[in-house]
Amino acid sequence: MLRVVTRKYACRQCGKPALLEPSNPWRPFCSERCKTLDLGEWFGERYSIPAESQDDFSEAADLPPPNSPRPQ
């Protein structure tokens, strides 16, 4: 006896049930909107990686200026 398996999946974007079937062109998302949002976040993270020059700047800002008195 076969059980009917409903191939539902939590949408990676909003968590709502999404169909994992060919009828759903946006799988594993529930809709085009969620798919677009996810891709947008992915690319956003990729392009928001700070450049090395920014790291150097923040490290330099932590050091006291050479002329400032040092607390003992």
| Residues contributing to the annotated binding site | 11, 14, 30, 34
Residue 29: CB minimum distance to Zn ion, A: 5
Tokens of 33: 């909107």
Comparing C-alpha atoms, which of 6, 53, 7, 59 is closest to residue 28?
7
Nearer of residues 33 and 55 to Zn ion, judged by Cβ? 33
**34-43 contacts, C-beta under 8 A, 24 or more apart:** 37/13, 38/12, 38/13
Minimum separation from the CB atom of position 62 to Zn ion (A): 42
Residues that bind Zn ion (CB under 5 A): 11, 13-14, 16, 30, 34
Would you list which residues are annotated within the binding site for Zn(2+)? 11, 14, 30, 34
